[in-house]
Structure formats: C-alpha cells, structure tokens
Structure 1
Amino acid sequence: MARVLYLGGLGRSGTTLVERLLGELPSVCALGEVVHLWQRDILDDERCGCGARFSACTFWKRVGEQAFNGWGNVDVLRVHALRDLVERTRHIPRLAAGHMPMDEVREYAGFYAKVYNAAAEVSGADVVVDSSKHSALAHVLRWASDVDLRVVHVVRDARGVAYSWTKTVTRPETDGAEEMTRYSPGRSALLWNAHNAAFGLLGRRGVAVRRVRYEEFLTDPRAALIRLADFAGLTLVPDDLNFLRPDHADLGVGHSAAGNPMRFTVGRLPLRRDDAWVAKLPPRQRRMVSAMCGPMLRAYGYPVFTEEA
C-alpha cells in the first residue's frame, strides 16, 4: 500500500516549493500534479520535470509498465468521464458523506492508486508526494483502500494568492506555447475560501491532515521539513537536510509530471517569501479580498486588515 503525502490547497500557495524540498529527502519520490497526468502527459506528451518528453522519460516509462503494462493501456477517456462524474468541488459534501456513486469513486481513485504504488515500487521510496492540490480529488482518494493518505494543507495569505493569480506565467513544458491560467482577485478569493474549507472538512472525516502556512514554512524550512517528514512517518538524520542552505536549497533533477515552472529548477533555488502583493496588489482589490476572506484569514492567523503600500 502506497504511503501518499498529498499536497492540497489553492494554486499559487507554495505547494510546488514544498514538493520540491520534500522530494530531496531520502525515501521520498515527488510526482508533481498527478491530476494532470492523464491529459498533459499521456495524451499531450508534455515535458517531465527532468526536461524529457513524458513518453521519453525512463522513470515514467517504468511506472507505466508497472501500473498498467504501458501507458497505452490506460483508457484516458474513461478517466476523464469518471473525473467529470465524481471529482468536482460541488460534489465535496456528498463525497464527504459517502453519498456519491461509490463504485465510480473507487474506480477513479484506483487509477491514482496504481500510479502511486507503481512509483513507489520503481523508485524504492517509502513515500510518494502528489501535489495535485485539488480538494475534490483529496476527498476521492479518501475512499481508496490501497492508499495510505496523509494530506498536507498548504495555506498562503489570500491577498498574496490573489495577486499571484493575476500574473502572466508561461508554461515551459509547452515550449512557450501556452500560459498558466489567470483569475481575477474576486474569483481567486472565492476559490481560496472554498478549497481551504474543503480541506478542513476532510480532516473532520478522519483523514490525517497537517496544515502548513507558506509564510511560516519559509521562515524555517529545515524545521518545517522535519515536522512534515515525521507526519509522513519518516525519520531524518541531520545529513538528510544538507541540501538546505541559509538562503537557498540545492535541488537535483526531479520527475514532476505537471506543475508550475519551479519543477524544472535544478541547482540553486532561493528560499525567500514572495511578498510582492504588499506593494503591487491595488488597494481596492486588497480590500475586496480581505473582506471576502476575512473569517478564514483570521482563523488561519492572518491579519484581516493590512496597511496599504
């Protein structure tokens, strides 16, 4: 049974950073955003974090053989049909209560379980990391009998998330042909509330959930990684964290299936908070996001009102 550390939260909250650092730990295999594997990798043959096309990546070839006797045997249309049926944010209350068509829920979860178990076998890792983020998928995976699910709920100040979603970011895996999705601050505020609340509900349904604030993680990455390793059931020794320096991390090549451009970083990765929103998020938008997200900002320990730059 695969031990899976699922990184959840709204996009632009720092999950890729957390994943990259976790992936440097011994006995950990970071897979990227597996939720996108079916379309972007199997069908579209985008680039793995190692830089190779998915079809040419030795690691993913071996995972596909182990899981499905080859990726060509995966019925992607069936995966997409199941996704549309069960993996939607609006379905979360029914997923939490077990009121969904459970045969389909378990079938959909089974595709992910096969990937996780195969990746653990191929890599020899004790823990695999999926940074898919989607709250509905986390609720689906709760029903997978052959997955030991542990969820890391990554939270970032809603105003920082809102500003990040307005930025134009090219997707390197498409060789510059496509950009990452953008949302208005109002839209991202709604999503921030919904997805973060969904992870709180998951914890109340008996799933092991550990909340991590992006800002605190970067204040002391070493201590944060030790705590997450303990949560994942791993015991570290001091040398396991030698890749961490006071202001950066030294990263090796990874095999992230999908995610933001940081997954392609090899070598020095600066470890500093991205607080550009403090100066660049327009005051009106800042006030709007603060008002919309006020109760949950307060619950997570963030100030509801901030000084405007």
Structure 2
Amino acid sequence: MGVAVVRVLFLGGLGRSGTTLLERVLGCLPGVCTLGEVVHLWRRDLLDNERCGCGRPFSACDFWREVGDRAFGGWHRVDPHHVLRLQDRVERTRHIPKLAGRTCDNQVREYADQYARVYAAAAAVTGARVVIDSSKHASLAYCLRHAPDIDLRVAHVVRDARGVAYSWTKTVTRPESDGRETMTRYSPSRAALLWSAHNAAFGLLGARGTAVRRFRYEEFVADPRGTSLAIAAFAGLDLPADALDFLAEGADGVVHADLPATHSAAGNPMRFRTGPVEVRADDTWRTALPPNQRRLVAAIAAPLHGAYGYPITGRRT
C-alpha cells in the first residue's frame, strides 16, 4: 500500500562540504523537518542503536518510535538486514548509469519505498511540509527519483575541493562511539577523485529530469540568510517575515544561528550542537594543506572546479 506524496529536500554532494551546518540552519525554518543522514538509519540506528541528535539512544527516542509506528507499524516489523542487502545491490555509485534510465527494477522500487515511508511518517509526526535528508549519496538520490511517493528536490552543495580534501585528512572522533572510533579519512588525491565523481553524478541527475539546484558553501557562509531563502524557495516554502530571526549578526559581524536539538539519525558530530553557533567560513585549508597537495587537488578537480567558479590558484573566490 502506498503512502501520501511527500516533498523531500535531499542535500547532495561529497561529505565535508558544509551540509551539516546548512541542514541545521534550514531545520530552524517553519514547515521543515530534518532527519540527518537517513542512509545510515538501517545500520547505525536500527542495528547499533546509536544516539539520535537529541542525545537519546535511537530506541529510546519518542520521535523515532512514532515514525516507526506510522511508517511500518513499529520498527520491529522492519528487517534492517534485508534493507542493507538491497542497499548493497542497488545503491552503489557503479549503478548510477543504470539508475539514470527511465525505468528501474523491483529491488530499486522496494528500496526507495523504505525511505518514502520514513519521510511520510516524519512529515505526519511533525506536520512539516518539507522533509530534509542530508544523506549526500548521489546513488541514493538516483534511487529516490524512481519513488512515485516522493516529490524530490536536490540541493547540490559544493565546496572548494581543496577545503573538502583537507577536511577529509583530519581525525574526527565519532561521538556516538564514546571516543572509541574515528570518522573515515581520505588522502587529498582520493578526496579529490571522490569530489569529482560525486559532483559530476549530481550534474547528470539534473539532466535526467530531477529538480537539482547547486549551492556553494562559500556563498552560504557569506550570506546565510540569502542562501537559506533561496533554498526554501527551491523547496517550495513560502516563509513568514520573521522566519530567519534565529540568525543574528554579532558585534564582530559574524552571523550566529541559535540551534535547537534535532532528531538527526546520523551524520557529522555537529548534529549534537545546540545554542548559538557561528556561521562562518572554514578556510583552514589555505594554510594547513601543503602547497603541493593544494596543487594536486586543484589539478584533479580542475574540470568541475572551473565550472563551479573556483579559481585554480589559492586566491579567495
């Protein structure tokens, strides 16, 4: 049995592009429900019972319990191992050429339907007009385009490849593991290759008829109000005049966002931050990433770097 059509704003791009900060800001807008990286829901939450963005274990979160009840009649009726097997079979970057076609097989439909049910239930629980999934994976967005119950809008978030590459070299502890695990790391060259592949995939997605609009991280941190309004309009939200009052400029000229707790399923450690948070550019890579690595990343990413308006040299955009 199908579910009501739900509008989903999918934040796409390569990780470390500022999507978590963007999602947290957008989550403060009326009519919006943010779910974090739903692609990890099946393993990290249903199997590993990691913490929700609100701080509680997934199984103890009232929000997710109600979502599970509405979507499936309870999470106990979902076989996460089966969903993960579907994920392995259909949701991989190598499958994008096939997923880009007009038709799909039953496994893709079944896999996408799991997400459609979660999105629709979250919208019903919160009364939201738009649900945000910051999973980022291009392959998942390609699967979701085949779900008839999803009105998919993709905000393609890009950041200077050198900043992304530097961020992937840093050691970041996963707070859900109580300090026992760190997040994945990549070499600058590997990160540059992934940056090129993932961003190119979203360009193709738009050419296949999905609503895709590109937003640059650098423009967002320079003008969080303007970018938030542009994304809200793209998502079909008509905002009241005071919708952005949670963004306030301090005496230092830096905009601060007053962030409430969320029910993020998974994602960057910043999903646990609450209270005032600075919305400012992270340009550490300009001095921390060695010059030879900056040049290497720029060379690998050159075709799309230029198309997105990023200079090959290190000067500011």
3-state SS of paired residue (1:198): helix
Take 1:240 and 1:24, find their aligned partners in 2: how far apart are those partners?
Answer: 8
- Mapping 1:41-190, distance limit 5 Å: 41-98=45-102, 102-190=105-193
Give the C-alpha shift of residue 98 in structure 1: 4.1
Q: Is the contact between residue 47 and residue 174 of structure 1 (CA under 8 Å) also seen in structure 2? A: no
Does the alignment pair 1:280 with 2:288? yes
Give the C-alpha shift of residue 81 in structure 1: 1.0
Take 2:178 and 2:169, find their aligned partners in 1: how far apart are those partners?
Answer: 21
Does the alignment pair 1:21 with 2:25? yes
Aligned to 1:39: 43
Take 1:25 and 1:164, find their aligned partners in 2: how far apart are those partners?
Answer: 28
Spell out, residue by residue over 1:10-50, the C-alpha distance to the aligned partner (whole angstroms, 9 max, x if none).
00001111110110001100000000000000000000000
Gaps of 5+ in 1: none
3-state SS of paired residue (2:134): strand
Does the alignment pair 1:245 with 2:248? yes
Q: Is the contact between residue 48 and residue 258 of structure 1 (CA under 8 Å) also seen in structure 2? A: yes
Q: Percent identity?
A: 65
Aligned to 1:258: 266
Aligned to 2:218: 215
Give the C-alpha shift of residue 307 in structure 1: 5.5
Q: Count residues in correspondence.
A: 307
Take 1:112 and 1:7, find their aligned partners in 2: how far apart are those partners?
Answer: 15
Give the C-alpha shift of residue 229 in structure 1: 0.7
Give the C-alpha shift of residue 75 in structure 1: 1.1
Q: Is the contact between residue 6 and residue 151 of structure 1 (CA under 8 Å) also seen in structure 2? A: yes
Letter in 1 for 2:115: Y
Q: Is the contact between residue 2 and residue 120 of structure 1 (CA under 8 Å) also seen in structure 2? A: yes
* TM-score w.r.t. length of structure 2: 0.95
Give the C-alpha shift of residue 106 in structure 1: 0.5
Does the alignment pair 1:198 with 2:206? no
Aligned to 2:252: none
Q: Is the contact between residue 166 and residue 185 of structure 1 (CA under 8 Å) also seen in structure 2? A: yes
Letter in 2 for 1:74: V
Take 1:54 and 1:222, find their aligned partners in 2: how far apart are those partners?
Answer: 32
Q: Is the contact between residue 5 and residue 151 of structure 1 (CA under 8 Å) also seen in structure 2? A: yes
* TM-score w.r.t. length of structure 1: 0.98
Give the C-alpha shift of residue 136 in structure 1: 0.3
